Amino acid sequence: MPTVRDLLKKKEGKPIISVAAEDTVFHALEVMAEHNIGAVLVTEGDRYVGIFSERDYARKIILQGRESKKTTVAEIMTRDMVTVNPQTTVEQCMELMTRYHIRHLPVVEEGHLSGLISIGDVVHSIISDQKSYIENLEEYIHGTSILR
């Protein structure tokens, strides 16, 4: 079973995108659009203190009639993040995302943030594993190969 460590290897070299807690929500949205992502981690100094997502924007700015150019990220970000570690399996990530209705999981290793996993990363991994498994079964059935 693949783990978060496996997912992070595929993302090597890609920076963790973040914004400062005192940045405006509008700025955070610009950053998200620039990087084509649905969430950014939020920092205060050199610490990660939360996550800001499209869902936060929709529910806490649009629905509450607030202004994105006047509201700071700190005012509406999610502070209580559900996190995983590199040993967490992809299946466990899917279970957490389903249980908590979230699409992003910060990866924490020895107290430090080491990455961010999205629902897209998880789904891609599961589909890839299933495809490989099916191909191996087909090869086995047709006698062309031994299961790997």
| Inter-residue contact 95 to 117 (CB < 8 Å) | no
Q: What is the pLDDT of residue 13?
A: 85
Question: pLDDT class for 146, splitting at 50, 70, 90?
Answer: low
CATH number among 3.10.580.10, 3.40.640.10, 3.40.50.300, 3.40.50.1950, domain 4-141: 3.10.580.10
Give SS3 for 19: strand
Q: What is the pLDDT of residue 26?
A: 98
Give the number of residues written for the chain: 148
Answer yes or no: is pLDDT of 147 > 60: no
Q: What is the rounded CA–CA span in Å between residue 40 and residue 75?
A: 15
Answer yes or no: is pLDDT of 102 > 60: yes
Half-sphere exposure of 96 (CA within 13 A, CB side): 21
Question: pLDDT class for 83, splitting at 50, 70, 90?
Answer: very high
Mean pLDDT of 110-129: 90
Enter the pTM of the model: 0.83
